[in-house]
Amino acid sequence: MQKAYVKKVEGAYRVGDTRVSLDSLVYLFREGMSAESMVDSYPALTLEQVHGALAFYLANQKEIDRHLAEGQRAAELHHCQSKQTNAELIAKLQRARNASQIPGGR
């Protein structure tokens, strides 16, 4: 019987029945982190689940990489929109920060 190590839930890839995203493991994998270290970082996961999720990624790499790139673009767009929407508040907070700083950089 084949196990489903990765599930797509509401547009996000999750590892098994956990809330851990496949994205998180893929970024760590790209940085060279071992599966054992990933288990240390995500105690909700077993070593089997991590290896299964990484195997899923490698078998579907183009699709998952496309998904990650779309997520990155969406995050960048949201960040830009947020900066524009909150420009006045950001400027006010910056003025307050500058006014509260002690002269001489201390």
Going by pLDDT thresholds of 50, 70 and 90, the confidence category of residue 100 is: confident
pLDDT at 93: 85
Going by pLDDT thresholds of 50, 70 and 90, the confidence category of residue 106 is: low
CA dist., res. 99 & res. 17, Å (int): 50
| DSSP conformation letters of 48-74 | HHHHHHHHHHHHTHHHHHHHHHHHHHH
CA dist., res. 78 & res. 71, Å (int): 10
| Cα 81-22-44 angle, rounded to 5 deg | 115
**Structural tokens at position 16:** 């098994």
pLDDT at 60: 96
**Dihedral sign of CA atoms 11, 16, 17, 21 in order:** negative
**Structural tokens at position 1:** 């019987």
CA dist., res. 29 & res. 60, Å (int): 15
Query: For a pLDDT cut of 70, what percent of the chain falls above it?
Result: 92
Write out pLDDT tens, residues 38-82. 999 999 999 999 999 999 999 999 999 999 999 888 777 777 777
